[in-house]
A and B are shown apart, each in its own frame.
Chain A
Amino acid sequence: MVVLKDLTKEELYAPGHRLCAGCGPSISIRMALKAARGPIAAVNATGCVEVSTTIFPYTAWRIPWIHALFENTAAVASGLEYAYDALEKRGARKGKVDIIAIGGDGGTFDIGIQALSGMLERGHDIVYLCYDNEAYMNTGIQRSGATPRGAATTTTPAGRVIPGKREWKKDFAGICAAHGISYVATASIGFFSDYMDKMKKAIEVDGPAVIHVLTPCPLGWRSNPADTIKLAKVAVQTGLFPIYEVINGKYKMSMKPGTLLPIEEYFKLQGRFSHLLKPELKDELEAIKKGAEANYKRILGLAGEPVTTQ
């Protein structure tokens, strides 16, 4: 278990980047780099983190870092891994480099999933880190495959007829696990020791590993910047974002199931869900509750835990 006191004080991610005040993704990147075990290189998909950390001539990165395109991060990382191998083979470089591919939910769930699937299938020794702020925040809060049902975005506004996004969040961890890779985990920056532990495990895995971390976005979620960590916790505690590991296909809950908080506790902190708390949308709120509970129970079942939410 990660102990904060013993964590490295070395900051591989520098201050002065231009992500928003209270940015969840920023926290997730810094924590991920704290879990590094040695030399590390990152490949970063287009998105908030990429754009705001490397505005020429300023870079926040103190590790070798590549931004290529939006959808090809996993492929670029695959090439980089092979380059290091090949150069080592011909004696042109020495020593293991841990490669982390970083993408937001849009760059991962949607446009980048083909390249990611290829990377997982080919078995590259790369950690894929998806920081999930549940919409295309960089382009101005459009829905993605990771946006949860009910959330208002600029392409799924809470209108008079349609109350926000109608579809459920994609089971991303399940998709990754289905590739038969040895380590997949969901995590939340609200439970940072657990998250950094998972990052360490992912790096240690010989072969591909995927971390899907929930990172609240004050801008897109219309929340108080100071609530970022709190929201990341409550999302887990309401069962809306269960955190678990899939180790060699076996599911394991990261938190023992206890009493779940009512999802209103989560929704009331965010403007993107505020419409759902109006009496006229009671049915939609109920549907979301039911769906969230079913999903939570599904994960409990996969983890072999007693299926109860009481």
Chain B
Amino acid sequence: MSKEKSLAEKMKLPWKKMPIAGIMFEPGSTVEYRTGEWRIEKKPAINQDKCIRCFICWIVCPDVSITRQPKPYKNYTESVEVDYYHCKGCGICAAECPVDAIEMVEESKVVP
């Protein structure tokens, strides 16, 4: 992670400088928050060869951590990738994959 201060740190301002009424003016600012640290033991790994791009894993992910990337792969125009910065490792993607293309692997394993 960069050494830049987090938004949480930046917002520890004197009271006069705090945003009015506690409003959050930056939409989707949670992207900065690393929920990937919550993972214990396992993380999902997608086998791009097995994956049929049905996008079920993408839609059922509670953490918006399965992403559709415009990277062509073989006959497919898109690739499905895991956002490990946010993935909490719940395993729903692996459980719901109809072709067993997602495996929950040890955290230490290097995923291509």
Are chains A and B touching in the complex at the 8 Å CB cutoff? Answer: yes
A228 touches B55 (CB 8 A): no
CB distance from B96 to the nearest CB of A (A): 5
Q: Which of B7, B53, B60, B85 contacts A58 (CB 8 A)?
A: B7
| A224-B96 Cα distance, complex, nearest whole Å | 13
Interface size of B in residues (CB-CB distance below 8 Å): 43
A156 to B30, CA, bound (A): 35
What chain A residues lie within 8 Å of B60 (beta carbons)? Answer: 27, 189, 192, 229
Closest to B60 in A: A229
Expressed in whole angstroms, the Cα–Cα distance for A258 and B30 within the complex equals 43
Given A4-B54, A17-B30, the answer on whether A58 and B59 have CB atoms closer than 8 Å is no
Question: Does the CB pair A21–B68 fall under 8 Å?
Answer: no
Cα(A20)–Cα(B61), bound, Å: 12
B27 contacts A59, C-beta separation under 8 Å: yes
Asked if B35 CB lies within 8 Å of chain A CBs, one says yes
Instruction: Return B11 CB to nearest CB of chain A, in Å.
Output: 4
- The answer to whether B90 touches A22, judged by C-beta atoms less than 8 angstroms apart, is yes
Beyond A59-B24, A59-B30, whether A30 also contacts B90 by CB under 8 A is no
B38: contacting residue among A9, A13, A21, A53, CB under 8 A: A21
The listed residue (B11, B27, B32, B62) touching A27 by CB distance below 8 A is B62
Question: Does residue B64 face the partner (Cβ distance < 8 Å to A)?
Answer: yes
User: Once the chains are docked, how many angstroms separate the CA of A227 from the CA of B62?
Assistant: 12
**Nearest-Cβ distance from residue A2 to partner chain B, whole angstroms:** 9
| Known contacts A4-B59, A9-B68, A57-B8; is-contact A16 B35 (Cβ 8 Å) | yes
Q: Which residue on chain A has the smallest CB distance to residue B78?
A: A5
Measured in the bound complex, the distance between the Cα atoms of B9 and A239 in whole Å is 49
How far is it, in angstroms, between the C-alpha of A225 and the C-alpha of B104 when the chains are bound? 13
Does B95 lie within 8 Å of A192, measured CB to CB?
Answer: no
Distance in angstroms between the alpha carbons of A31 and B90 in the assembled complex: 18
Distance in angstroms from B43 CB to nearest chain A CB is: 11
Q: Mark B41-58, 1 if CB is under 8 A from A, else 0.
A: 000000000000111101
Chain A nearest CB from B2 CB (Å) reads: 16
Q: Name B residues whose Cβ lies closer than 8 Å to a Cβ of A.
A: 7-8, 10-11, 22, 24, 26-35, 38-39, 53-56, 58-65, 68, 83, 85-86, 88-92, 94-96, 104
Query: Would you give 16 A-B contacts (Cβ < 8 Å), ordered by A?
Result: A4-B54, A4-B58, A11-B64, A15-B35, A17-B63, A18-B30, A21-B39, A21-B88, A27-B62, A30-B59, A31-B59, A56-B24, A58-B32, A59-B28, A59-B29, A218-B90
